[in-house]
Every structure is written in C-alpha cells, then in structure tokens.
Amino acid sequence: MKVLVTGAAGFIGSHFCEALAEQDHEVIGLDNFSNYYSVALKKKNAETLEKKGISMIAADLLNPEFSVEIPENINYIFHFAAQPGIDRNTSFDAYLNNNFIATQNLLKFAEKLPDLKMFVHISTSSVYGQMATSAETEVTLPVSDYGVTKLAAEQLVLARSRLGILKATSLRLYSVFGPRERPDKLFTRLIDCALNDKEFPLFENSLKHIRSFTYVEDIVNGVLAVMGKEEQCNNEVFNIGSEHEYTTREGVDSVEKITGKKIKMKILEPRPGDQLRTNANIEKARKILGYHPKTSLYKGLEKQVAWFKNC
C-alpha cells in the first residue's frame, strides 16, 4: 500500500512511518519542520526515516501548494500533524490554523484521490476535558484551545464520512511516551533534569494527576490496526491507550529509580486546561481492532532513558 503520513518527522509520526516500512508499505512522510521545538531533532528523525527508504517531503499543510510532490495513487492517509500540547505561549490562531484549517486543506486533497481507502485522523484524549475516562460515545468537554481545535478537526473529518465523500476514522491517543518524545513533554524533561542536574518545572498539585501513560509502540500498533478494517472503522472514533493508571508522582519515582538520580523541583502555578485524570476506555478498540497494549510504564521508561543517553 502507498501511505501518506503527515507530521512524519515528529515523535509518534516517525515511529509510525518505521512500522509501516517494516510491513513493506511504500511510505511518504510530510512535515513542515516547525520551530515549536528543535528543528534539528525533527531533521534527525527525517534522516533516520530516509535511510529506511521512506520518502520525506518538507511542506506545510497551510500552503496551497503543499501537495505538489505527493502522488495521487495514495491508499491511506494518517494525519498526525498538529499544533501540540497545552502551552501558554501558543496563540489560539496557531491551534486553529495547524489543527483545523490544515486538516481542512488535507481533506480537500484527500477527496481527489481515486484510490484512497481510509483517512485516519489522529486525535487526543484532551477532547474529553479534565476527566478523560469516557467511552467514545460519551459527551466531550474540552477545556483547552488544543482540545477544542482537535475536536473540531475530528468532526470535520467525520463529517466527510457521514456524507459518503470518503471513509474516515478518528483515534484519540492517551499520554504517549517513549524514545523521541518531544523535549517539552514530561518524561524527556524529567530524564534530562535527572541526568543533567537541572530543575524540573512542576505545576502545583500535578504530582497527583493520573494518566494512562502509553508506550509509543503500543500506540503505533493501535493505529496500524485500522488498516484493512475500513468498513468497521468508517465514521467511528476509537480510544487508543493503556488501561493502567499512574500518578505523575509514580512517573517521577520511576525515572529517579532508573537513572539513580534525585530530581530537583521548581513549583509553578497550576496550568490552565490541564487534565486531572486520563484513563483509556479501550473496550471498543479491543473488540473491533484487536487492540491490546502490553508495555508497562517502568519498562517503557527504561527504553526511553536508554534512548536519551544515546541520542
């Protein structure tokens, strides 16, 4: 199959491209190499992918000419590209443009593809709001610009499938971690602080937050599982994540145990829009996709620490 992956040079997207290539799919990766975090890290990921035979295109979905180099005989689109995270320094326009308008532009391109089997939108547990413990049919209550715009993009995609324009599904991912995790995310920062004797910026009361921390390989396997299940997945939403809950405190303790270092904390004011609890209800994904995440937080963090030391 010929597969287009947006956000291919990012954390999850790069892992997903590798998994596709290992299954002998022809992979075309697209990334705008934004400066939200180190462009050098993204270029390093892209170089790794190119060495594995994956074609990389530097293009921005907000540019009307983004599709010039993309062939028309695409069979699947996996849309990872987005303005990520909850960041006080990120404007609403950045979330709106990169999460919603960019998705609309990609959909317009997808509608013209004669061989497209499925458009797979990568969403987030943030659409549920502060307590992300719901099944896919329950009400979404996002409390951040990130969650609001990701939910809007999700509905934009699903509207196309409701109208019969194309087959589409949306996957809501939960607290992904592992090698190549962005430098602004929890565990990469914790590991950096532990190994390099830095202060970790801890939002007040966040040690009590509960998360379905999910190892990136388990996420990738869940996303891959939609391929070949177009009829079962069309116009459906799936939660993809671990059923196991951990507090942020347990995450900190695990990093300290693995590195053998105590992490110094700098307490910051609580972050608006942060989730208090995520727990992936994956009954639907288990039943339809055969999804079974396997990696524990500790085992995954051992791999992430090893990667950090060698990167």
Catalytic residue check, 174: no
List CB contacts of 58: < 8 A, sequence separation 6 or more: 31, 32, 33
Using alpha carbons only, how large is the chain's radius of gyration in Å? Answer: 19
Task: Please pick, among 36, 146, 215, 291, the residue that the annotation labels catalytic.
Answer: 146
CA–CA dist 11, 182 (Å, integer): 6
Nearest 10 degrees: CA dihedral of 103, 122, 277, 97? -20
Residues 1 and 205 sit within 8 Å (Cβ to Cβ): no
DSSP assignment string, 154-180: HHHHHHHHHTTSS-EEEEEE--EESTT
If one counts every other C-beta atom within 10 angstroms of the C-beta of residue 224, the result is 18
Q: Are 212 and 280 in contact (CB under 8 A)?
A: yes
3-state secondary structure of 219: helix
Q: Which H helix or E strand runs over 5? A: strand 2-6
Tokens 């939200």, residue located:
36
Separation between Cα atoms, residue 51 and residue 5, nearest integer Å: 17
Cα distance between residue 5 and residue 214, in whole Å: 21
168, 238 Cβ separation under 8 angstroms: no
Give the residue numbers marked as catalytic: 146
